[in-house]
């Protein structure tokens, strides 16, 4: 398949020498005015809007750009894809728009550095790989003791002396293309400060020889081990070493194409990191869209791919939007965690509302499957205008309890074993009282919310084999305590994963319903385009 071109668009009086410095897939395009077309019959602006043909382009703005005082043009530019020369001076209003768009400042006189930043960090994909729990091979000569806690984490204890002892290595060699950097993020907790852990990445060249290595120790590991770009493809092998004595807990290992200082997974991506334990994280990505209400927040569903789900779907709404993703465990840990981490989730949403000048009733929370838990859970304190969800899951203890009986064919030991890992992670055991505690975690939070001004739109499965009681319990609670609250709902025949297309169709229909009814936005797509959008969204939700 041919590699998709990433246009680097520069409108100004003088061209930069980027054409000779940028390698494919980047293509530099310069013009004095914006009435030209980098692609035939595709102008930069489609009316007042930035042409979707160039939605992933990198836009360069220097002091001679004709848009400097044109607020409408600046508002239309793609967020997180703008680079502004250091010497550009905007008005206060234009500067505010550029801040919301997350425009980056760079020195255009150092064209080689500018080209390097674009080439290495402004690619248009989400390039990540989360190692499977079984992909960490323990060295047969390792002298310590290892206890496996489900597939949530490993407890490593021992007395290793003052020299580094090899603990193990990942079984897969990661391939890193030329001109890209990589970061390995390791979830680890030193229960005893008398033990040290080191991660070392060996760089393997085309001759299958180690050409260099990069390492980090202890509390540096959750921040990440960075491998800089090379002008040729390389392989990466990750090894772990320990020394001293005591206990440490080792969990997820994440390989991510680096964005440098410009974000995580996507330019503008943000890590919400727990300050305790294994320093685990939740990710957030913000795009201010057209800067008009509402702010639409979408929580990703369960996915092993470790990516922001629903990017294209939310962008097509045109509103400011935020994507939130949980990279923990096999495919997510339902957005729970310490009080600190949960507060960071609330804060990142409130901060986006504040930056946009919106109030809580100009907020819509949404999600499908695992994402429904977060939309409902965090909605209890955020008091949104609407909550749009598909296939709700709220009783995590019941999901773990019912796997062996309701979903025995899926994983041999009972479908969705990650539910067991969550109970272990959050409560420390798998007794019935621990399962009840997980159920109570949701309801204690949800019942503290004020939903009298919130509209709920829910698609649910009649025979949901994960949490069959989720929707009836939600409906009954809202009917009893908030009888004036609108609850729009539709049931579909089948189990949890039997009709994702039908769920997504209802989800999109109700999202547009809330956007039109509450904020005067109309769906600009034709019936055929809506169908195509539904199909694309369904594929995105299924890709997990």
Has residue 425 been placed in a domain? no
The helix/strand/coil state of 283 is strand
Query: Looking at residue 54, what DSSP letter applies?
Result: G
Asked which of 208, 235, 257 is the last residue of a domain, the reply is 257
Q: Are 146 and 113 members of one domain?
A: no
Nearest to 55 by CA among 32, 31, 69, 38: 38
Asked which of 100, 121, 142 is the last residue of a domain, the reply is 121
Distance, CA of 321 to CA of 298 (rounded, Å): 8
> Cis link prior to 25 (omega < 30° from 0)?
yes
Has residue 436 been placed in a domain? no
Full-model pTM? 0.93
**45 contacts 34 by C-beta, under 8 angstroms:** yes
pLDDT of residue 536: 45
Q: Which residues pair with 49 in a beta bridge?
A: 46
The domain of 479 spans 260-397+450-542
CATH number at residue 217: 2.60.120.200
Has residue 433 been placed in a domain? no
Place of tokens 């080191």: 198
Q: Within 10 Å of residue 344's Cβ, how many Cβ atoms? A: 21
Q: Are 132 and 82 members of one domain?
A: no
Has residue 408 been placed in a domain? no
Domain total in the chain: 3
Mean pLDDT by 10 residues, the chain (544 residues): 84 96 96 91 93 96 96 98 98 98 98 98 95 92 95 96 97 94 97 98 87 96 96 96 98 96 98 94 98 99 93 96 97 96 98 98 98 98 98 96 69 68 92 96 98 98 93 98 97 93 96 97 65 47 40
pLDDT of residue 1: 43
Q: Are 253 and 269 members of one domain?
A: no
Q: Are 357 and 462 members of one domain?
A: yes
Q: Are 371 and 506 members of one domain?
A: yes
Half-sphere exposure of 82 (CA within 13 A, CB side): 26
Distance, CA of 381 to CA of 446 (rounded, Å): 8
Q: Which two tokens stand for residue 173?
A: 């060699």
pLDDT of residue 402: 83
pLDDT of residue 316: 94
């Amino acid at each position: 398949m041919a590699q998709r071109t990433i246009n680097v668009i520069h409108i100004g009086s003088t061209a930069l020498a980027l054409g000779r410095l940028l390698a494919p897939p980047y293509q530099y395009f310069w013009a004095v005015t914006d009435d030209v077309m980098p692609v035939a019959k595709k102008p930069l602006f489609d009316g007042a809007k930035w042409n979707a043909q160039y939605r992933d382009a990198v836009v360069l703005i220097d002091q001679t750009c004709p848009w400097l005082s044109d607020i409408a043009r600046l508002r239309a530019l793609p967020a997180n894809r703008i680079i502004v020369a250091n010497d550009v001076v905007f008005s206060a209003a234009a500067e505010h728009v550029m801040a919301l768009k997350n425009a980056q400042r760079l020195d255009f006189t150092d064209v080689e550095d500018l080209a390097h930043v674009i080439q290495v960090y402004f690619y248009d994909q989400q390039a990540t790989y989360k190692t499977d729990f079984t992909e960490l091979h323990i060295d047969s000569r390792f002298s310590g003791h290892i206890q496996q806690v489900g597939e949530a984490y490993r407890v490593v204890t021992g007395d290793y002396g003052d020299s580094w002892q090899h603990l193990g290595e990942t079984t897969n060699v990661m391939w890193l293309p030329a001109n890209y950097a990589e970061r390995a993020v390791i979830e680890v907790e030193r229960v005893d400060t008398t033990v040290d852990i080191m991660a070392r990445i060996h760089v393997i060249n085309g001759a299958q020889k180690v050409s260099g290595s990069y390492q980090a120790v202890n509390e540096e590991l959750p921040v990440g081990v960075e491998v800089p770009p090379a002008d040729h493809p390389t392989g990466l092998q990750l090894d772990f070493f320990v020394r001293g004595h005591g206990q440490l807990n080792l969990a997820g290992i994440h390989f991510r194409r680096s964005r440098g200082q410009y974000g995580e997974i996507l330019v503008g991506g943000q890590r919400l990191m727990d300050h305790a334990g294994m320093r685990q994280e939740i990710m957030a990505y913000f795009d201010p869209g057209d800067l008009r209400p509402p702010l639409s927040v979408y929580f990703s569903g369960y996915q092993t791919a470790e990516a922001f789900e629903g990017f294209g779907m939310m962008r097509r709404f045109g509103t400011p939007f935020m994507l939130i993703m949980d990279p923990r465990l096999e495919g997510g840990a339902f957005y729970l965690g310490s009080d600190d981490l949960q507060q960071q989730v609330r804060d990142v949403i409130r901060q986006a509302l504040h930056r946009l000048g919106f109030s809580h009733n100009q907020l819509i929370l949404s999600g499908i499957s695992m994402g429904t838990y977060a939309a409902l859970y965090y909605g209890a304190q955020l008091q949104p205008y609407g909550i749009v969800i598909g296939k709700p899951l709220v009783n995590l203890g019941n999901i773990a309890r019912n796997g062996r009986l309701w979903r025995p064919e899926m994983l041999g030991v009972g479908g969705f074993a990650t539910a067991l890992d969550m109970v272990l992670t959050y409560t420390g055991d798998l007794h019935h009282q621990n399962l009840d505690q997980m159920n109570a975690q949701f309801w204690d939070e949800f019942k503290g919310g004020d939903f009298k001004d919130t509209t709920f739109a829910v698609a649910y499965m009649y025979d949901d084999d994960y949490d069959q009681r989720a929707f009836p319990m939600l409906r009954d609670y809202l009917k009893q305590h908030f009888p004036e609250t609108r609850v729009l709902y539709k049931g579909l025949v089948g189990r949890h994963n039997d009709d994702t297309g039908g769920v997504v169709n209802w989800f999109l229909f109700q999202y547009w319903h809330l956007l039109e009814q509450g904020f005067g936005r109309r769906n600009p797509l034709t019936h055929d385009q809506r169908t195509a959008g539904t199909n694309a969204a369904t594929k995105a939700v299924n890709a997990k």
